[in-house]
């Protein structure tokens, strides 16, 4: 049985979708672990974000009236309050094409799920961006794991950091972009190890990466 204290400590998730049925389905899944607030379109979602500082993550559709998901994401990423600008955003949409996915990521979405969203998939991604990271758990983002081998291979095989970056850019750079910071943090110790062991003399490049990560 949940106590009042347990309920108060739940992370709050905002669900933005113009379909009442979709909102009900997502809410049913997420309300098992999180406090849920619903919004009927992007404008409603934006209003609720401004009115409620407890919201820690947004799950949004793309195609909506008044303000679509792209517009909502852009507003969030351009917001003045730091907690809004850096808020995790998961897109849940019926659009399966790569253009929609890349546009969502370019606007600033952290993850992309195609409807109908599996309960386990949705919970895994929401947990990654909320509770899992609060405890500094060493958890890999669901969509990020597939790139780890490529990252490590580039670092090990390339003679310097610049060539390693060129190798990575020849891969799916648009798909990698949303996970760039997380991958950099995960791979940074390996970069430092290779630099020291093989005397790559890339201290300046490593310092530059660290400086960029601090600003994210």
Residues of the chain with CATH 3.40.50.2300: 4-134
Locate 50 and state its tokens: 């401004």
Which carries the bigger pLDDT value, residue 160 or residue 25?
25
Nearest of 105, 53, 107, 62 to residue 84 by alpha carbon: 53
164-204 residue pLDDT tens: 666 666 655 555 555 565 566 666 776 777 777 777 787 88
All residues at 6 or more sequence positions from 202 whose CB lies less than 8 Å from its CB, including other chains: 160, 161, 191, 195
Measured torsion, CA atoms of residues 146, 70, 134, 178, in degrees rounded to the nearest 10? 30
8-51 residue pLDDT tens: 568 899 999 999 999 999 999 999 889 999 999 999 999 999 99
172-181 residue pLDDT tens: 555 555 556 5
Kindly state the percentage of the chain with pLDDT values over 70: 64
Which carries the bigger pLDDT value, residue 138 or residue 216?
216
Q: How far is CA 121 from CA 3, 55, 118, 151, 154, in A?
A: 27, 21, 5, 24, 29
Measured torsion, CA atoms of residues 108, 93, 24, 141, in degrees rounded to the nearest 10? -50
Nearest of 87, 161, 158, 100 to residue 126 by alpha carbon: 87
For the segment(s) 4-134, the CATH number from 3.30.210.10, 3.40.50.2300, 1.20.1740.10, 3.60.15.10 is 3.40.50.2300
pTM: 0.60
Q: Which pLDDT score, from 0 to 100, does residue 139 have?
A: 43
Q: Which pLDDT score, from 0 to 100, does residue 187 have?
A: 66
All residues at 6 or more sequence positions from 100 whose CB lies less than 8 Å from its CB, including other chains: 62, 93
Q: Which pLDDT score, from 0 to 100, does residue 24 have?
A: 93
φ, ψ (nearest 5 deg) of residue 204: -65, -40
Backbone angle region of 60, left / alpha / beta, with phi > 0 → left and psi within -120 to 50 → alpha? beta
The answer to whether residue 105 scores a pLDDT higher than 70 is: yes
């Amino acid at each position: 049985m949940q106590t009042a204290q347990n309920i108060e400590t739940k992370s709050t998730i905002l669900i933005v979708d113009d379909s009442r049925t979709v909102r009900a389905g997502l809410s049913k899944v997420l309300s098992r672990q999180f406090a849920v607030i619903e919004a009927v379109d992007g404008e409603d979602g934006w209003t609720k974000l401004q009115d409620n500082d407890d919201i820690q993550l947004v799950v949004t559709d793309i195609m909506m009236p008044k303000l679509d998901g792209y517009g909502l994401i852009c507003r969030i990423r351009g917001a003045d309050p730091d907690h809004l600008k850096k808020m995790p955003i998961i897109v849940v949409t019926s659009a399966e094409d790569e253009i929609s996915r890349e546009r969502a990521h370019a606007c600033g979405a952290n993850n992309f799920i195609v409807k109908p969203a599996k309960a386990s998939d949705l919970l895994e991604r929401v947990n990654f961006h909320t509770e899992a990271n609060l405890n500094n758990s060493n958890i890999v983002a669901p969509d990020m794991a597939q790139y780890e081998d490529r990252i490590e291979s580039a670092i090990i095989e390339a003679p310097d950091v610049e060539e390693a970056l060129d190798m990575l850019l020849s891969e799916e750079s648009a798909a990698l972009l949303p996970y760039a910071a997380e991958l950099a943090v995960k791979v940074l110790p390996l970069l430092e190890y290779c630099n020291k062991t093989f005397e790559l003399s890339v201290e300046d490049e490593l310092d530059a990466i660290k400086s960029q990560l601090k600003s994210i």
